[in-house]
Amino acid sequence: MSRRKGSCLCGALTYEIEGELDGVWICHCSNCRKVSGGTGNAILIVKREHFHWLSGEDYRVTYKLRPTYTITRCRTCGTPLPAEEDENNVYLTAGTLDDPIGVGVKVHIFCGSRADWDHDMEGARHFDERSQ
């Protein structure tokens, strides 16, 4: 079974996931925009039994956003790590993975809640690194 690792920005928190992944969900809801500070959260839905923390127990801080929606962050660097919205799965922030996943974006949800600047991503100019 394939295993992939991920971590927070400062490296204190590390985790591993197992199993195949069927694609990334991008959620544009207002909660996910605040949690990420961007257009929304890029999420991989992973069964709880397939998600394992490897390090950093003392660095984990969990915030309850709604009764059924929590997000865990690193105490030092603030990186958002798994969110939990149901009892069977974790909603893993895809940007924290360090290994390639081999699948792309599958679906955009809560598009009706998009920020008014969150459109035409493909039409905007793209650069491999910083723009000149």
Size, binding site for Zn ion by CB under 5 A: 9
CB of 78 to Zn ion, least distance (A): 7
Q: Is 45 in the site for Zn ion (CB under 5 A)?
A: no
Please check whether residue 9 is in contact with residue 79, taking contact to mean a CB–CB distance below 8 angstroms: yes
Q: Which two tokens stand for residue 8?
A: 């927070």
- Which of 17, 21, 26, 27 contacts Zn ion by CB under 5 A? 27
Please check whether residue 46 is in contact with residue 90, taking contact to mean a CB–CB distance below 8 angstroms: yes
Report DSSP state, residue 43.
E
d(CA 79, CA 73): 5
Q: Which stretch binds Zn ion (CB under 5 A): 14-22, 25-33, 81-89, 92-100?
A: 25-33
Q: Which stretch binds Zn ion (CB under 5 A): 22-30, 47-55, 64-72, 113-121?
A: 22-30
d(CA 63, CA 1): 32
Per CB under 5 A, residues contacting Zn ion are 8, 10, 12, 27, 29, 32, 74, 76-77
